[in-house]
């Protein structure tokens, strides 16, 4: 009997085809939700029925969705963070949850540096100005010699740190888990959060969304930052208090910000989009052809492992598989 799999991810199967072929080669039938369709909870509940596996993106896989999926054995996140999946309910139902940590870390680190440079040199404004017939004199700042503060020195944060070293930036880091060996090798100094905020010219956020990190960067933290500093958030939107950030940018308490993530996506009603000192991108940090292929392959290998009775490599809840 063929395994039935549904993907509600907007990227799986549309850019990298090797993962789809892998599933077919292992006796799986795959249904893809049309790309660009934003599914409601009711649609997810109905779509999930009858499948042994789900591949998901950022859509919320709630308790109701999981409970309705009577045959579900595994949920695979086509990405790293699983904050949109009710892992507890999945575990209670003995449904494996897997993800692809690190598969897109280079892609996210690349975009981080791209946004950092875009802020420093005001590249988006320069592009728009020339296309609109202007030829303005735009004076930016150099990044070499500046201080980059990284919140979260995991795989992505380390990738950003290594790239920043090529620009001769001084790197500071805040993380509750310290990798002293890496820090020593790359000349990175760990600091408490408040001290890091006060000393950084650029601040880059690379931590997962958890109850303790939600709203981590709020009004108090933004007031600690330098007036000419920049903030880049490419992690999760809810880590930064968007209302506080809006006020800080509007009042000129920090110089600029670049967001690849928002608390609500797409952020159609966000006042941040009206600010000239804010760069926005559509949660594209992990979207390179290379990263999508690797992420997809990790997902499908994990799915097949679970369905065939093997321990997957990247299980979020491995205890239910013992």
93 catalytic per annotation: no
Beta-carbon contacts of residue 96 (< 8 Å; ≥ 6 apart)? 73, 74, 75, 90, 302, 306, 312, 315, 317, 320, 321
253 catalytic per annotation: no
What is the distance between the alpha carbons of residues 101 and 183, in angstroms, rounded to a whole number? 21
The catalytically annotated residue of 236, 242, 294, 301 is 236
How many Cβ atoms from other residues are within 10 Å of residue 191's Cβ? 16
User: Per residue in 80-100, is it b (16+ CB within 10 Å) or e — as a string?
Assistant: bbbbbbbbebbbebebbbbbb
Name the DSSP letter for residue 315: B
The catalytically annotated residue of 265, 290, 308, 310 is 265
Among candidate residues 209, 276, 219, 265, the one with its CA nearest the CA of residue 242:
219
The catalytically annotated residue of 59, 78, 206, 283 is 283
What is the distance between the alpha carbons of residues 84 and 78, in angstroms, rounded to a whole number? 12
Encoded tokens for 153 = 């020195």
Length of the chain: 322
283 catalytic per annotation: yes
Q: Exposure of 158 by Cβ count < 10 A (0-12 exposed, 13-18 middle, 19+ buried)?
A: buried
Among candidate residues 97, 162, 123, the one with its CA nearest the CA of residue 320:
97
Contact call for residues 266 and 282 (beta carbons, < 8 A): yes
Give the residue numbers annotated as catalytic, written as ranges. 236, 265, 283
């Amino acid at each position: 009997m063929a395994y039935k799999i549904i993907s509600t991810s907007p990227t799986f199967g549309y850019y990298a085809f090797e993962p789809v072929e892998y599933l077919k080669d292992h006796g799986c039938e795959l249904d893809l939700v049309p790309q660009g369709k934003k599914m409601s909870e009711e649609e997810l509940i109905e779509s999930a029925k009858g499948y042994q596996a789900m591949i998901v993106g950022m859509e919320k896989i709630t308790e109701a969705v999981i409970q309705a999926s009577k045959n579900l054995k595994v949920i695979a996140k086509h990405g790293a963070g699983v904050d949109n999946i009710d892992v507890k309910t999945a575990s209670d139902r003995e449904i494996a949850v897997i993800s692809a940590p690190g598969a897109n870390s280079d892609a996210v680190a690349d975009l981080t540096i791209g946004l950092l440079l875009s802020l420093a040199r005001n590249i988006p404004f320069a592009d728009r100005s020339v296309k609109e017939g202007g030829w303005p004199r735009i004076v930016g700042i150099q990044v070499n010699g500046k201080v980059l503060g990284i919140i979260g020195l995991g795989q992505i944060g380390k990738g950003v740190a290594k790239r920043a070293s090529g620009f001769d930036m001084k790197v500071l880091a805040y993380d509750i888990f310290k990798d002293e060996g890496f820090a020593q090798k790359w000349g990175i100094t760990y600091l408490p959060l408040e001290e890091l905020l006060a000393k950084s010219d650029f601040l880059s956020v690379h931590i997962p969304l958890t109850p303790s990190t939600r709203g981590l960067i709020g009004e108090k933290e933004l007031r600690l930052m330098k007036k000419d500093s920049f903030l880049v958030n490419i992690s999760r939107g809810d880590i930064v208090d968007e209302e506080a950030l809006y006020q800080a940018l509007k009042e000129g308490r920090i110089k600029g910000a670049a967001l690849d993530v928002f608390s609500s996506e797409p952020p159609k009603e966000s006042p941040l989009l009206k600010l000239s000192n804010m760069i926005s991108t559509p949660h594209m940090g992990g979207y390179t052809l290379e990263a999508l292929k690797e992420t997809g392959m990790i997902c499908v290998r994990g799915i097949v492992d679970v369905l065939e009775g093997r321990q997957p490599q990247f299980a979020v809840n491995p205890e239910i598989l013992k």
